[in-house]
Amino acid sequence: MKKTLTLHLPAISVEVNGSEGQTQDELRKLGEEAVIKQLTKDFPRYQWSMTEGTVIKDEDVVCGRPVKMKSSGEVGIIYEVKPGTKYPVRILINGEKEIQCTHAAIDKVSKKASIDKLIKGRQEWEKSTGEWLDVRTGYFVNGKDIIPVVLNARGRGKMKAYKIDHESKGSYYHLTASNILRLFDTKLEAEDYASMLHNR
């Protein structure tokens, strides 16, 4: 029976006595040693939670990363992470279903899982408007590259298209009125556009 215990510790401040000429990294290491000493002497108050099984690591919870819902097995793409909220992870499933959850509710997806199967484009009614609304997936043409992206069109006119990848680090394209024309619903449309550009 494997469980994961998560401790939510408050910020910890310590004083360090460094000598002149020490680098920031050397001072940080002194600080880490001081924190360990402080924690062993006087452990601070904290909040905690316990979860069945393992929990996905923080560094794996980034926009553009495919993940699987533990409860249903559905695979989706992280499109937003809001630390400090009750449900900090926002996931798009099947191109239209948005779910908010905690780290404990999701798992990593096998790197063999096809990303192309997760790209659904827009609904037909959205295509007729010519707009990209809400949270959607598509393909962005960047030169000769055709990149699967998850688009978060919410938030004060700033549109970001996060690269979808099993090793995603949260990199994105800022979409503007001109480069949004390089965003497509299907890979075929993106390939046609890229080959048209290449043949000019």
Q: What is the pTM of this model?
A: 0.74
Q: Where does residue 119 rank: exposed (0-12), middle (13-18), buried (19+ CB within 10 A)?
A: buried
DSSP-derived 3-state class of residue 55: coil
Residues 21-40 have a mean pLDDT of 87
Arithmetic mean of pLDDT over the chain? 87
| Higher local confidence (pLDDT), 137 or 20 | 137
Q: What pLDDT is stored for residue 80 in this prediction? A: 93
Q: What pLDDT is stored for residue 106 in this prediction? A: 92
User: What is the per-residue DSSP string for 187-198?
Assistant: HHHHHHHHHHHH
Q: What pLDDT is stored for residue 125 in this prediction? A: 86
* pLDDT of 165 strictly over 80: yes
Amino acid at 115: I
pLDDT digits (tens, 9 = 90+) for 121-163: 998 888 888 888 889 999 999 988 999 999 987 655 678 999 9
Residues 36-47 have a mean pLDDT of 84
Q: What pLDDT is stored for residue 185 in this prediction? A: 95
For residue 158, give the nearest of 143, 173, 170, 145 by alpha carbon: 173
For residue 147, give the nearest of 157, 156, 139, 135 by alpha carbon: 139
Q: What pLDDT is stored for residue 117 in this prediction? A: 92
In whole angstroms, what separates CA 39 from the centre of its chain? 32
Q: Using CA atoms, how far apart are residues 130 and 146, in angstroms rounded to an integer?
A: 20
| Higher local confidence (pLDDT), 75 or 54 | 75
Q: Using CA atoms, how far apart are residues 89 and 171, in angstroms rounded to an integer?
A: 17
* pLDDT of 65 strictly over 90: yes
Q: What percent of the chain has pLDDT over 90?
A: 39
In whole angstroms, what separates CA 164 from the centre of its chain? 9
The residues near 103 (Cβ < 8 Å, ≥ 6 apart) are 55, 56, 58, 61, 88, 89
* pLDDT of 54 strictly over 70: no
